[in-house]
Amino acid sequence: MKQIILDSIPFQPDRNQLLKKLHIQADSEDGAQLLEMIEHAEKIGKPKAMYTLSSINDKHEEFVVVDNVKLSSRVMRVNFADINRVFPYVVTCGRELYEWAAGLEDMLEQYWAEVIMEQALAAALRYFYSHLEKEYRLEKFKSMNPGSLEDWPISQQRELFQILGNVRELIGVELTESCLMLPMKSTSGILFQTQSNFENCQLCPREDCPNRRAEYHPHLYDEKYKAPVL
Ligand code: SF4
């Protein structure tokens, strides 16, 4: 298992996008305050990512074994049917921004800081994807994320972190008792090479989700993932 850390990810906040998202005019009093916060965040922000180049050791009907760790998911079993390596990962806005935001007392500033951290996380994700494309010449890859589907519950974050190793020491992301990540503006999962258009959202019935990336297919699980794997 090869462990790779990306800890020099550039973070240049998009000021116009942040002002627009927060409905703030740059030349207003709020605008001046927000721009000051953005400037500070730009100075201290260090978004990061880590991943492993992992082997699939075994495949069973209801689970797969990645780097000797058992991951229980039928959807994963089907998605990984034709591959033998995957990329477990954690990407984060970084502890530096998280601790700065935790020290803010004003609720409005806390909210602005959240939005700035979301932008840092998005920058880290873009960097991570482009790194993978270049390093491994991956043409098309998709992600499964613990907790996105009933089939792969949030409790499997523990197994994912077990594969990745000392995530807290390496990029500052820790798991809470309930398997949420701190900093909250972090994301985790397993990337895999595929020719399919898989998205967790295709199997997720949640209504009015602002982050939906694909239409829900109510019969897809029964049609594709329930049948025995040949
Ligand atoms: S619809 Fe929303 S909650 Fe469901 S998997 Fe997609 S992003 Fe996640």
Query: Is 52 a member of any domain?
Result: yes
Cα first-last separation, the chain: 28
pLDDT in tens, 76-90: 999 999 999 999 999
Average pLDDT (23-52) is 97
Query: Is 226 a member of any domain?
Result: no
Query: Is 148 a member of any domain?
Result: yes
Residue 230: pLDDT above 60? no
95 vs 230 pLDDT, higher one:
95
Query: Is 208 a member of any domain?
Result: no
Domain count, the chain: 1
Of all residues in the chain, the percent with pLDDT exceeding 90 is 90
Q: Tell me which residues have their CB closer than 6 angstroms to ligand 1.
A: 148, 200-201, 204, 206, 209, 211-212
Query: Is 187 a member of any domain?
Result: yes
Q: What is the CATH number of the domain that holds 135?
A: 3.40.109.40
Nearest residue by C-alpha to atom 6 in ligand 1? 201
Query: Is 53 a member of any domain?
Result: yes
Beta strands in 11-146 (DSSP E): 48-59, 63-66, 69-72, 85-92, 141-144
pLDDT in tens, 167-211: 999 999 999 999 999 999 999 999 999 999 999 999 999 999 988
| Nearest C-alpha neighbor of 96 from the set 172, 2, 181, 9 | 172
Can you give the residue range of the structural domain that contains 90?
Answer: 2-198
Q: Say which amino acid occupies 113.
A: A
Query: Is 137 a member of any domain?
Result: yes
Cα–Cα distance, 134 to 115 (Å, whole number) = 29
To the nearest whole number, what is the mean pLDDT of the chain?
95
CA of 35 to the centre of ligand 1 (A): 32
Nearest residue by C-alpha to atom 5 in ligand 1? 201
Report yes or no: 216 and 204 within 8 Å, Cβ to Cβ: yes
Q: What is the DSSP letter of 64?
A: E
CA of 42 to the centre of ligand 1 (A): 30
Query: Is 156 a member of any domain?
Result: yes
